[in-house]
Amino acid sequence: MREEDSEQIICCPYCRATYEVGCEHTLAIVDETFNECHGDLASEQYDEFRTIIEGHFLRLLKSGQREGLSWDDVNVNELWNVVREDYSPQDEELSVDMFAFTNLFIKLLEVAGGKRYPNSLIEGYGPGMTSVIRLFYAEDPARVFEVARSELEARLHKEGR
Ligand SMILES: [Zn+2]
């Protein structure tokens, strides 16, 4: 992984360890091109957040709530609108729009105190296969995920009108 516009070495804002060496402050490596998330705790949390959203929406749809719902949070609203349109009553699971989900995940990390690496980062996987990466650091990654998760729950339960 490298910076898009310079050859500067990426390092942790807390302990100055280089990205290659790694340290406990790496919060998440979010691939905005392929909608993936890397990092010990982060990849797990990424899947879990998605499961929370899908479960919540499925419960709403199963209970017959389909029309007239909207959310204060624009990303949550966008996620809802897609699943609502795709849903049929025999569905036992949903899948959210991954671009909208990745967007929401990034915002939650920011709100929860994750420190975004300021420059654009790219990862090359060969010709024509380049990902845009958002790298996040935190002094205490586990704590940031806790806060991000309660923020997600709050946003999911806050319906606008
Ligand atoms: Zn560090």
Q: Could you tell me the pTM of the whole model?
A: 0.91
Q: How confident is the model at residue 161 (pLDDT cuts 50, 70, 90)?
A: low
CA of 150 relative to ligand 1 center, distance in Å: 25
107: CB partners within 8 A, 6+ apart = 75
What digits encode the pLDDT tens for the residues 77-130? Answer: 999 999 999 999 888 989 999 999 999 999 999 999 999 998 888 887 777 788
What digits encode the pLDDT tens for the residues 39-57? Answer: 889 999 999 999 999 999 9
Percent of the chain with pLDDT over 90: 69
- Both tokens assigned to 26: 């790496």
Please state at what angle helix 98-111 crosses helix 74-86, rounded to 10 degrees.
150
CA of 97 relative to ligand 1 center, distance in Å: 32
Neighbours of 106 (CB within 10 A): 19
CA of 124 relative to ligand 1 center, distance in Å: 24
**Nearest residue to 35 via CA among 101, 111, 126:** 101
Predicted local distance difference test score (pLDDT) of residue 14: 97
Predicted local distance difference test score (pLDDT) of residue 160: 59
Put residue 157 in one of left, alpha, beta given phi > 0 → left and psi -120 to 50 → alpha: alpha
CA of 44 relative to ligand 1 center, distance in Å: 20
